[in-house]
Amino acid sequence: MMKPSLPHPNQKGKILIAEDSPTQAEQLKHLLLAHGYVVVTAGNGKEALRAVHEEKPTLIISDIMMPEMDGYELCRSVKSDPQLKDIPVMLLTSLSDPADIIRGLLCAADNFIVKPYSNEELLNRIEYILVNRELRRHEKSQLGVDIFFAGQRHLITSDRLQILDLLFSTYETAVQKNQALVKVQDELKRLNKELEAFGYSISHDLRTPVRHILGFTELLLRDPQLQPEGKARGYVSIIQDSCRRMMTMIDGLLAFSRLSYAEMRREHVDMDRLVREARRDLGTETGGREVIWNISPLPSVDGDRSLLYEVLQNLLGNAVKYTRPRMQATIEVGSHDGPENETTFFVRDNGVGFDMKYAHRLFEVFQRLHAESEFSGTGVGLANVRRIIARHGGKTWAESKEGEGATFFFSLPKPPPENA
């Protein structure tokens, strides 16, 4: 077997660029000219095919998405022509669909490179292809491989080196994408930790000045010079009420922040028992009211018992709160099988409900759909519910019609079988 011959340093080779974007074509041309290549450009597949016959390039670099003739068809036409088939073809693609790999093999493409790419990556890939061009001319063993993909059979007859090159370039692309994704995930984790720490610090530091304000208002109320029925005493009372509400909101924000750091202690959780406990602890809110509870048997789950208790306490508490205007409140708790090996739990009530166009605000911190004068609260409870369920690998959502009650859902992964 002949050893592959390297191009002369001053004659690196002629490259045909098939690219319908003038800007991208010009950028790529400038890069290749700067590194000693002769460059020919074409604005679509048909122009590129004519240029291949006229220019006989050393390598073709083609975008896949082009008018008149795409990159796959251009590659197929080149590889089916006995006089052109030895010219390597590199396809520029996003590889967003695994079927791209099959199409590349079917049209006998030699290499993929993903947009956006680094200049160094592209130049290294070009050099590799050109160095192995002679080897390609003498390695003519054919493989007949049946591939079944998306319910269809594909017969791949590309030579061994071409298949390996294509698979290696695809694998390299997947590795690069995975590495980039890992970096993004690590950066997001770092930023989230910094944000949570910042929120915790701010909310913690806010407590001191609010306590000072409350302390001084107490002193003002004890001042004998303050008229018992005067406006000043009323203003001080308003300041106190606002400070107490501020402290409640700060406490809620601190609790919300702690959920990101709290260690989860997973165990087998009896959801029936947890509902009974949450319902019992709401006794003071339901005292003197007519509340009908319809609670179906619930499956057990794997999770943090104390956190899941907080979820039920919030949801049942909201159901009790927003059914207060009803002469007879009805609260239903149940579950059903969800998709992807999940169990969906729900809490349904016949309360005041809400307008679904505002549903996206329900689970956000300090977002409330009812005035404080109607129903008390800070708007942190449902945000805590969403965060807890997310940490368990589940989802939260709600459905309602204004004036006709609401249903809150959360899903949790099913526990593995005991014998697994």
DSSP, collapsed to helix, strand or coil, labels residue 46 as helix
Residues 296, 245, single domain; the answer is no
Is residue 4 in a domain? no
d(CA 105, CA 142): 13
Please tell me whether residues 214 and 282 are part of one structural domain.
no
* 30-to-19, 40, 119 alpha-carbon distances in Å: 14, 11, 11
228 with 274, same domain: the answer is: no
Same domain, yes or no, for 233 and 339?
A: no
Q: Which of 261, 296, 312 is the last residue of a domain?
A: 261
Q: Under a CB-based contact definition with an 8 Å cutoff, are residues 351 and 323 in contact?
A: yes
416: alpha, beta or left? (left if phi > 0; alpha if psi -120 to 50): beta
Residue 236, domain CATH: 1.10.287.130
The pLDDT, as a whole number, for residue 347 is 94
Q: Is residue 131 part of a domain?
A: yes
Helix axes 305-322 and 381-391, enclosed angle (nearest 10): 150
Q: Is the same domain home to 269 and 403?
A: yes
Q: How many domains does the chain have?
A: 3
The pLDDT, as a whole number, for residue 419 is: 41
Q: What is the CATH number of the domain that holds 69?
A: 3.40.50.2300
The answer to whether residue 57 sits within a structural domain is: yes
Cβ-contact 272, 297 below 8 angstroms: yes
Residue 5 in domain: no
- Residue 373's domain is classified under what CATH number? 3.30.565.10
Instruction: Specify burial of residue 196 (Cβ count, 10 A radius: 0-12, 13-18, 19+).
Output: middle
- Looking at the fold, whether 154 and 195 belong to one and the same domain comes out as no
Q: How far apart are CA 394 and CA 303, in angstroms?
A: 11
Calpha distance 320→341 (Å, rounded): 31
Pairing of strands 59-63, 14-18: parallel
User: How big is the chain, counted in residues?
Assistant: 420
Shared domain check, 249 and 314? no
* Amino acid 338: pLDDT: 79
In which domain, by residue range, is 400 found? 264-420
- Does any domain span residue 368? yes
Residue 289 sits in the same domain as residue 418: yes
pLDDT in tens, 175-203: 666 777 888 887 777 777 776 676 666 66
Q: Is residue 349 part of a domain?
A: yes
pLDDT in tens, 226-269: 766 777 778 888 888 888 877 777 776 676 666 666 677 888 99
Give residue 10's pLDDT: 47
Domain C-terminal end among 245, 261, 277: 261
| Residues of the chain falling short of pLDDT 70 | 1-11, 94-102, 105, 133-177, 195-196, 198-204, 227-228, 252-253, 255-262, 365-379, 417-420
Is the same domain home to 251 and 275? no
Q: CA of 324: how far to CAs of 321, 346, 411, in Å? A: 6, 20, 27
Do residues 144 and 271 share a domain? no
Give domain status of residue 168, yes or no: no
Which DSSP string do the residues of 125-144 spell out, in sequence order?
Answer: HHHHHHHTHHHHHH---B--
* Contact between 119 and 91 (Cβ < 8 Å): no
Where does 298-355 show beta strands of DSSP type E? 301-304, 328-338, 342-349
Tell me, letter by letter, the H, E, C secondary structure of 210-277.
HHHHHHHHHHHHHCCCCCCCCHHHHHHHHHHHHHHHHHHHHHHHHHHHHHHHCCCCEEEECHHHHHHH
CA distance 182 to 272: 40
Looking at the fold, whether 210 and 243 belong to one and the same domain comes out as yes
Give yes or no: residues 251 and 277 share one domain. Answer: no
Looking at residue 188, its pLDDT comes to 78
Residue 152 one-letter amino acid? Q
- Grouping H, G, I as helix, E, B as strand and the rest as coil, residue 145 is strand
Strand, coil or helix: 151: coil
Query: What is the per-residue pLDDT for 1?
Result: 36
pLDDT of amino acid 293: 92
Report which DSSP code applies to 373: T
Q: Tell me, what's the pLDDT at 368? A: 59
Cross-strand pairs, 156: 145
CA–CA gap between residue 320 and residue 322 (Å, rounded) = 6
Return the percentage of the chain with pLDDT > 70, whole number.
74
- Beta partners for 15? 39, 59
Give Cα 409 to chain centroid, integer Å: 21
Listed residues 207, 227, 261: the one ending a domain: 261
DSSP SS3 for 206: helix
Domain membership flag for residue 1: no
Structure tokens at 376: 């008390």
